[in-house]
C-alpha cells in the first residue's frame, strides 16, 4: 500500500493543495479559495474538509497518510505557531495544533518562502543540496534558507527575511516595512520597475522602454535585445542583490543560491547581472557557492510543505 502526504500552500486568494506519495511524486493537485473574512477563521477548516473529502473519494484511510504540511504567508516558528499573517487576517496561534485537532492527522507548518525553498531542495533547482538560499523575486523579495536540510525558521519565525536587508544609505523613499534602503526596493519586480522609471526619467538616451509598459518583464526583454538603458537598470538590480547575497553567504555559507519568483522567468539573465557583484564581494570561504534558477514555479510551496512532514 502506498503512503501519502499532503502539501498545502496558503496564499492570499487561493490555497494550493497537493497529494504526494512519500517519494515526492505529485499524484493530484487542486485549489480552493482562501476565505479571509472573519479573521480567516474558515481557512483551516476549509483545508481540512477539502483533504478529508479527497481521501474519501480516493479511498485513502488516515493510516495511509503521513501527515499534512502547510506553508503560510507569515512568520511561523519551529513549533508550528504563526505569529501573524496580515493577508489572512490571522493573529498568533498554532497552525499545527489547530489543524491536527480538526483532521486527526499529523501537521507541520512553516513560512511560505521557507517552505518553497525546502521544495526546491527536494525536487527542484537545488535537488541533492542541503544548504541553500532561495530568493523569491516577486512583488517583494522573499527568502528561504535551508541549513543542513532543515528550514532556518529563527526565534519567532522571521528567519530568511532577506528582502529587508539594508543596502543603500542614500535612499529617500520608504520601503513597505517603513525603513529606507531595503533590498526589495531595488531587486523585487516592483523595485526593478521603480528603478526603471527613475533611470528613464533621469536621461534622454533612446530606449525601447520609452514606449509601452515599464516592468521587470519588459526591462529584461529589452536587456536581451541589447537596450543600453535597460542594461543600466538591470545593473542596479544585480548590484544590490549580488552584494547582499555575498553578505548572506558570509552568514550561512550556502552550496547554492536559487533565484525564483516572477522576475526569474526572464531566465539566466537574472543570474548574469547578479553573479559578478557577488563574486567581487564574497568571502573566500563561500567562493564555491553557485547560482541556479528555481524550477518548480508555483508548485514549490506544495512540494516543500509535503517535505516538511517527511523531515
Are the CB atoms for 133 and 286 separated by under 8 Å? no
CB of 10 to a second copy, least distance (A): 18
Q: Where are the alpha helices (DSSP H) in 9-88?
A: 37-40, 43-57
Are the CB atoms for 39 and 32 separated by under 8 Å? no
- Comparing CB distances to a second copy, the nearer of 152 and 189 is 152
Q: Which of 160, 141, 142 is nearest to 151 (CA)?
A: 160
Residue 192: all three cell numbers together: 526593478
CB of 103 to a second copy, least distance (A): 26
- Contacts (Cβ under 8 Å, ≥6 apart) of 253: 131, 285, 286, 289
- Comparing CB distances to a second copy, the nearer of 143 and 304 is 143
- Comparing CB distances to a second copy, the nearer of 19 and 175 is 175
- Comparing CB distances to a second copy, the nearer of 75 and 261 is 75
- Comparing CB distances to a second copy, the nearer of 119 and 144 is 144
DSSP E strands, 148-274: 150-151, 256-260
CB of 256 to a second copy, least distance (A): 8
CB of 66 to a second copy, least distance (A): 21
CB of 167 to a second copy, least distance (A): 9
- Comparing CB distances to a second copy, the nearer of 127 and 177 is 177
- Contacts (Cβ under 8 Å, ≥6 apart) of 5: 20, 21, 22, 65, 66, 67, 68, 69, 306, 309, 310
**CA 77 to CA 240: how far, in whole Å?**
29
Which residues of this chain interact with a second copy, rule CB under 8 A? Answer: 75, 78, 129-131, 143, 145, 147-148, 150, 152-162, 164-166, 177-179, 243, 246-248, 250-255, 281, 283-286, 288-289
CB of 194 to a second copy, least distance (A): 20
Amino acid at each position: 500500500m502506498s503512503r501519502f502526504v499532503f502539501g498545502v500552500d496558503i496564499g492570499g486568494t487561493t490555497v494550493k493543495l497537493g497529494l504526494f506519495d512519500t517519494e515526492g511524486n505529485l499524484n493530484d493537485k487542486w485549489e480552493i479559495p482562501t476565505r479571509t473574512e472573519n479573521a480567516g477563521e474558515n481557512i483551516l477548516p476549509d483545508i481540512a474538509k477539502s483533504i478529508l473529502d479527497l481521501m474519501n473519494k480516493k479511498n485513502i484511510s488516515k493510516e495511509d497518510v503521513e501527515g499534512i504540511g502547510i506553508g503560510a504567508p507569515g512568520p511561523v516558528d519551529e513549533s508550528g505557531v504563526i505569529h501573524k499573517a496580515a493577508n489572512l487576517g490571522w493573529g498568533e496561534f498554532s497552525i499545527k495544533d489547530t489543524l491536527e485537532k480538526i483532521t486527526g492527522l499529523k501537521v507541520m507548518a512553516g513560512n511560505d518562502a521557507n517552505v518553497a525553498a525546502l521544495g526546491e531542495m527536494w525536487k527542484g533547482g537545488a535537488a541533492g543540496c542541503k544548504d541553500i538560499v532561495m530568493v523569491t523575486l516577486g512583488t517583494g523579495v522573499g527568502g528561504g534558507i535551508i541549513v543542513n536540510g532543515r528550514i532556518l525558521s529563527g526565534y519567532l519565525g522571521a528567519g530568511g527575511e532577506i528582502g529587508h536587508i539594508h543596502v543603500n544609505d542614500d535612499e529617500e523613499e520608504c520601503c513597505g516595512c517603513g525603513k529606507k534602503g531595503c533590498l526589495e526596493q531595488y531587486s523585487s519586480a516592483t523595485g526593478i520597475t521603480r528603478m526603471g522609471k527613475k533611470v528613464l526619467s533621469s536621461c534622454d538616451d533612446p530606449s525601447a522602454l520609452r514606449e509601452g509598459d515599464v516592468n521587470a518583464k519588459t526591462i529584461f526583454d529589452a536587456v536581451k535585445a541589447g537596450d543600453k538603458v535597460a542594461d543600466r537598470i538591470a545593473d542596479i538590480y544585480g548590484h544590490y542583490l549580488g552584494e547582499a547575497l555575498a553578505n548572506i553567504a558570509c552568514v550561512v555559507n550556502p552550496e547554492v543560491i536559487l533565484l525564483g519568483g516572477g522576475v526569474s522567468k526572464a531566465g539566466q539573465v537574472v543570474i548574469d547581472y547578479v553573479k559578478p557583484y557577488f563574486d567581487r564581494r564574497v568571502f573566500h570561504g563561500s567562493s564555491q557557492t553557485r547560482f541556479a534558477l528555481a524550477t518548480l514555479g508555483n508548485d514549490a510551496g506544495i512540494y516543500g510543505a509535503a517535505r516538511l512532514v517527511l523531515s
